[in-house]
Structure 1
Amino acid sequence: MRGITTDCTSCINANCFIKKHLHLEKMQDFVLEKTNYTCKKGQQFMIEGAPMQGLYFIYKGKVKVLKTGIYGKEQIVRLTTDGDTLGFRGFGTSNRYLVAASAIEDTVLCNFSNDVMHSILKSIPEFTYDMMLFYAEELNKSENRVKKIAQMNVRERVIDILLYLLKKFGHTNNLLNINLSRKEIADFAGTTDEQVTRILSSLKKEGVIKIVNKKIGLLQVDKLNNEIIEHK
C-alpha cells in the first residue's frame, strides 16, 4: 500500500469516529501519529487471522469486509465507505483480524496502530464511552442481519441488499453509486452468481430496476420495499 498524507482537521467525513472527537484537546496529539495508505481496487489490506495492525478509518473510497465460510467460500459481511471504521472486530480480544477487507475501488485509509488506539482509550473517557456504544450498535446490526437472512428467501435477500446499497451509497441518475459484480452481490446475499443473475433479470423484466453497463438502478423503490416489508 502506498502512503499519502491526509489532514484530520480538514476532513469532511462527519461520521468518522476520529473526526467526531477531534474537538477533544488530547486527540490533537494522537492524530499526529496516524498513518495513511492508498489501496488500489481489489487490493486486500486486512487478512483474516493475521495479527492486528490497529484500526482503519476510510478517508475516501469503498471497502468490502469478508469472512471465510465453509469450504473456503467468502461471505461479504459488511460494505463500507467514507468515514467508516474497519478492524474493530478483533481489537482488544484476539488481537487478530477476525475478518478480511479489500478495496472495491481506489481507497484512501487512515490507520491508528494498536498502541495508539490503546493510549486513546486509556486517556480519553469520552472516546472510550462512545466506542462502547459503537460496538453495541454494530452488534445489534449484525444480529438483525442474521435474523433477516434466516427468514428471507433468496429473492427477498437480493432485494434487501439492493435497498441497502441505495441507502448506504445513494444513487446518481437513478444508478447506484457502487458497482458490485454479480458474485459480490451473491457473496453478500449468501447465494450463487446464477441465482443473482436470474433474480436481477426478473426484476428488470418487472420494471422495478434497470441495468446499464452492469450498473443497477432502482426504479420502483416503494414496490421493492413492499416486497420485504414483513421483515422490516
Structure 2
Amino acid sequence: MKRLNIDCATCDNTSCFIKKHLHLEKMQDFALQKNSFACKKGQQFMIEGAPIQGLYFLYKGKVKILKTGIYGKEQIVRLAVEGDTVGFRGFGTRNRYLIGAAALEDSLLCNFSNDVMEQILKTIPEFTYDMMLFYAEELNKSENKVKKIAQMNVRERVIDTLLHLFKKFGHTNNLINVSLSRKEIADFAGTTDEQVTRIFSSLKKEALINTVGKKISLIQINKLQGELIEHRQF
C-alpha cells in the first residue's frame, strides 16, 4: 500500500469523526500523527485475527467489512463510504481484529494508531462522547440486521440489500453508484449467489430492477419498498 500525505484541514468529509472535531486545538495536533495510504481495488488492508492497528477513516472510495463464518464462508457485515470509520469492532477491548476489510474500488484511507486513539479518547471528552453514541448506533444497526435475517425471506433480504445500497452509495438516474458481484450481494444479504441470480431474474421480469454489467438500476422503488412494509425498512 502506497503511503500518502493527506491534510485533514482540506478534507471534505464532514461526517468523518476526525474532521468533525478538527476545530478543537488538541485534535489538530493529533491529526498530524495519522498515517494515510492508498489501497487498490480488491486489496485487503485489515485481516481478521491480525493485531489491531488502530482505527481507519475512509477518505476516498468504497470498502467492504468482512467476517468469516462456518466452513470459511465470507459474510459482508458492513459497507463503508467516504467519511466512514472502519475497524471499530474490537477496538479497545481486544488485541486482534474481529473482522477484515477490503477495498471495493481504489481507495484512500487515514489510520490513527492504537496509542494515538487512546490519547484522543482520554484527552478530548467531546470526541469520546460522540464515539460512545456512534457505538450505540452501530450496535442498534447490527441488532436490526440480525432481526432482518431471522424474519425476512430470501427475496425480502435481497430487496432490502438493494434499497440499502441505493441509500448508502447514492445513484445516478436510479443506477446505484457501486459495482458489486452477485456473490458480494449474497454475502451481504445472508444468502447464496445462486439465489441472488434467481431473484434478480424474477425482479427483472417484474420490471422492478434492471442491470448494466455489475451495476443495478432500481426501476420501481416504491414497489420494492412496499414489499418490505411489514418490516418498516428504508
C-alpha deviation, 1:10, in angstroms: 1.0
Which residue of structure 1 lines up, in the alignment, with residue 205 of structure 2? 205
Which residue of structure 1 lines up, in the alignment, with residue 215 of structure 2? 215
| Cα shift readout 1:91-140 (whole Å, capped 9, x = no counterpart) | 11012111000000000000000000000001111111111111101001
Query: What amino acid sits opposite 1:5 in the alignment?
Result: N
Q: Matched residues in 2 for 1:178 and 1:26: separation? A: 36
C-alpha deviation, 1:190, in angstroms: 1.1
Query: What amino acid sits opposite 2:71 in the alignment?
Result: Y
Query: What amino acid sits opposite 1:131 in the alignment?
Result: M
Say if 2:113 is the partner of 1:116. Answer: no
C-alpha deviation, 1:149, in angstroms: 1.2
Structure 2 runs not aligned, ≥5 long: none
Which residue of structure 2 lines up, in the alignment, with residue 19 of structure 1? 19
Which residue of structure 2 lines up, in the alignment, with residue 172 of structure 1? 172
Query: What amino acid sits opposite 1:191 in the alignment?
Result: T
Q: Matched residues in 2 for 1:222 and 1:5: separation? A: 44
Q: CA RMSD in A?
A: 0.7
Say if 2:141 is the partner of 1:103. Answer: no
Which residue of structure 1 lines up, in the alignment, with residue 7 of structure 2? 7
Q: Matched residues in 2 for 1:204 and 1:80: separation? A: 27
Name the SS of the counterpart of 1:26 in structure 2.
Answer: helix
Which residue of structure 1 lines up, in the alignment, with residue 68 of structure 2? 68
Q: How does 1:121-132 map to 2 (within 5 A)?
A: 121-132=121-132
Which residue of structure 2 lines up, in the alignment, with residue 229 of structure 1? 229
What count of residue pairs does the alignment treat as equivalent? Answer: 232
Q: Matched residues in 1 for 2:52 and 2:214: separation? A: 36
Q: Matched residues in 2 for 1:213 and 1:162: separation? A: 15
Q: How does 1:114-153 map to 2 (within 5 A)?
A: 114-153=114-153
User: Bigger CA drift: 176-185 or 204-213?
Assistant: 204-213
TM-score by length of 1: 0.99
Query: What amino acid sits opposite 2:77 in the alignment?
Result: V
Q: Which runs of 4+ in 1 moved over 4 A?
A: none
C-alpha deviation, 1:25, in angstroms: 1.0
Which residue of structure 2 lines up, in the alignment, with residue 38 of structure 1? 38
Identity percentage of aligned residues: 77
Structure 1 runs not aligned, ≥5 long: none
C-alpha deviation, 1:215, in angstroms: 1.3
TM-score by length of 2: 0.98
